[in-house]
Amino acid sequence: MEYRPLGRTGMQVSVLCLGCMMFGGRTEPDESMAIIDRAIDAGINFVDTANVYSRGRSEEVTGEALKRSGKRDRIVLATKVHGRMADDDPNAQGNSRRHIIAQCEASLRRLQTDYIDLYQIHRPQSSIPIDETLRALDDLIRAGKVRYIGASTFTGWQLVESLWVAKELGLNRFVCEQPPYHILDRRIERELLPMLQTYGFGVIPWSPLAAGLLTGKYQRNQPKPEGSRFGAMWESWPHIRSRYVDTFFDVVEGLAPLAEAKDITLAQFSLAWCIRQPGVTSPIIGPRTMTQLEDNLGAVEVEISDEDRAAVDALVPPGLMVSPFYEADFGPHPHRV
């Protein structure tokens, strides 16, 4: 396993981060814990979850797995706060001091730990001044409950504003950002990624396999695989149909020969491309099964040549995207120009 510094912290993290969104939800607790154990044995020391994943269940399963492993002290444990945690309480969401501090305490209990290595704001919230959020996070650091703080899916200007406010008020600053980034959506290369490199942020891309679209399991004019995310959500979440377009299949079919030439899976090629992109620290993988984890682990050994990069650029030029990702699902994408 290869390790890289997380931004300016000096802390070393594995080039793959284990995302725990599926654990305690689509993935049963026993298999979830087995996946965490296998990832740790393979050298992954970076684990990311969030309070909102299955309303705390992911944190509970992750915490129990780390407790059983006896290796909590070796793990860089990350979680996030922002999402709604109760349907009947208007304050059980967002980036206010009240919500952040209450949810940090709840996450510590669920994770069965005394401290969180990396506590991240899951989404920006324009209705709350960033100093309100940073002061609460700074207090958690000074109390010893959090080691470092980060952001997820912020725009470049929001992160620069956070740096200015932190400097002006003498507060701890964000050390990393989690942006959506994969071959099918390269928009962060326009502005956000250069900004993150300039100011020393760690970069932890989420969805490096585009919610499974870059695994190769979806084929043009073929039924969606049994148990797949797109198959399971096709009727209940119609917005995802916007991703299932000819331009997506054109790219995947263009990538397939590149993976075949290396005798690897398309998922391994796509992950390796993300790992080797300038400025990237650790893409977040989100395996639902042990088989998926084993396949993901193989990406660490894959080399991406200049010829490979040029071939990818010919399919999806730097800074551009394929198909209407995110707008249909979440509203305007934060990195759209």
Q: How far apart are CA 112 and CA 206, in angstroms?
A: 25
Helix (H, G, I), strand (E, B), or coil: what is residue 146? strand
Q: Are 247 and 213 in contact (CB under 8 A)?
A: no
Q: Are 20 and 62 in contact (CB under 8 A)?
A: yes
DSSP code per residue over 43-104: T--EEE--TTGGGGHHHHHHHHHHHHHT-GGGSEEEEEE-S---TT-TTSSSS-HHHHHHHH
The length of the chain, given as a count of residues: 337
Active site amino acids: 53
Q: Are 115 and 143 in contact (CB under 8 A)?
A: no
